[in-house]
A and B are shown apart, each in its own frame.
Chain A
Amino acid sequence: KNQVEQSPQSLIILEGKNCTLQCNYTVSPFSNLRWYKQDTGRGPVSLTIMTFSENTKSNGRYTATLDADTKQSSLHITASQLSDSASYICVVPSTDSWGKLQFGAGTQVVVTP
């Protein structure tokens, strides 16, 4: 069973609107959680990292939240732009071995004009 679950699988929003993506993880012990953005035909790019002591972190119009007690994170996109159309992937370090990451399946976001 995957240790990182994301929802929704996909969503379509109008340009200028806000949206929130969810990530639930079961990896323990927990050290940090990253959100990556993957544009079509490109490799993932890190958006933000949350350590266990952080609740909120912003990167421009992207705001990530973390609740380490409930093992949940969210990524909020404000005033969406067409360039926000991408897959957003939640990533947590695995406890199996050093350097190994557990990836969620991603949420595919489509921003329409």
Chain B
Amino acid sequence: DTAVSQTPKYLVTQMGNDKSIKCEQNLGHDTMYWYKQDSKKFLKIMFSYNNKELIINETVPNRFSPKSPDKAHLNLHINSLELGDSAVYFCASSPTVLTYEQYFGPGTRLTVT
């Protein structure tokens, strides 16, 4: 009965590969987010979707492409992975875009070698 789940938990891959991270929430929330947490522990917003519509798109390389097939799912696809992409990626959701209470998933630790 996990609220926000992500797969995989760990992802180790080589430079230049393409990979995807999946996120699902069973809370019935309208809004979902992708965050990147680097080695300095700062959480930085990457994208946000509200009812499958992109509403936040921070300055992120276009190698990163989010996709929301429905409001319960938000996936992140990364092309041509680089060493600097190594980080922990968190998915989160909130009831609405106006609700600042966000519920986070367990994170996906991506290591690019």
Q: Point out residues on A near B: beta carbons under 8 Å.
A: 2, 31-32, 34, 41-46, 49, 87, 89, 93, 97-101, 103, 105-106, 108
Contacts and interface: CB of A to CB of B under 8 A. Distances in A.
B84 to A, nearest CB: 19
A7 to B, nearest CB: 14
B107 A32 contact: no
B42 A105 contact: yes
Nearest to A46: B101
Contact of A98 (B42, B43, B90, B97): B97
23 contacts: A2-B42, A31-B100, A41-B106, A42-B107, A43-B106, A44-B43, A46-B103, A89-B43, A97-B55, A98-B55, A98-B97, A99-B33, A99-B50, A99-B97, A99-B98, A99-B100, A100-B45, A100-B48, A101-B45, A101-B102, A103-B43, A105-B42, A108-B41
Nearest to B90: A43
A21 B35 CA distance: 24
Interface of B is mostly: strand
Contacts of B48: 99-100
B92 interface: yes
Nearest to B99: A99
Interface residues on B, range: 20 to 34
B105 A99 contact: no
A45 B45 CA distance: 16
A101 B97 CA distance: 11
A105 B98 contact: no
B101 A43 contact: no
Interface-centre pick from B56, B100, B105 (highest chain A CB count, 10 A) = B100
B68 interface: no
B4 interface: yes
Interface string B37-54: 000111111001010000
Q: Which 8 A-B residue pairs are closest in the complex by CB-CB distance?
A: A43-B104, A103-B43, A99-B97, A98-B97, A93-B100, A44-B104, A106-B41, A43-B90
